[in-house]
Amino acid sequence: MNGFSKVIIYPKDVALITGKSYRSSWQLLKKIHKHYNKQRHQVVTVQEFCEYMGISEEAIENRFN
């Protein structure tokens, strides 16, 4: 991929990928945040989301482009 690629994933992105509501996506990101023992100020990356959900990063990159 050329240039800058997306690193951080937000509830809106999760909603687009999974078809869930914004609120359900936000709750899923909270679970992922807890799973990786992140502190409150830390964010969930696309890589962590993909590992947790068991999907490839390429599938996500194609969705964002």
**Residue 2 domain flag:** no
Domain that holds residue 45: 11-64
Q: Inform me whether the pLDDT recorded for 3 exceeds 90.
A: no
**Residue 59 domain flag:** yes
Q: What is the pTM for the complete model shown?
A: 0.85
**Residue 55 domain flag:** yes
Can you tell me whether residue 8 is helix, strand or coil?
strand
**Residue 54 domain flag:** yes
**Residue 17 domain flag:** yes
- Please tell me the distance from the alpha carbon of residue 54 to that of residue 22, in angstroms, as a whole number: 20
Decide: residue 38, CB within 10 A, 0-12 exposed, 13-18 middle, 19+ buried: middle
Number of separate domains in the chain = 1
pLDDT at 35: 97
Query: Residue 47 has what DSSP assignment?
Result: H
**Residue 4 domain flag:** no
- Please tell me the distance from the alpha carbon of residue 52 to that of residue 45, in angstroms, as a whole number: 11
**DSSP strands (E only) in 1-65:** none
**Residue 50 domain flag:** yes
| Tens of pLDDT, residues 26-55 | 999 999 999 999 999 999 999 999 999 999
Q: Inform me whether the pLDDT recorded for 14 exceeds 70.
A: yes
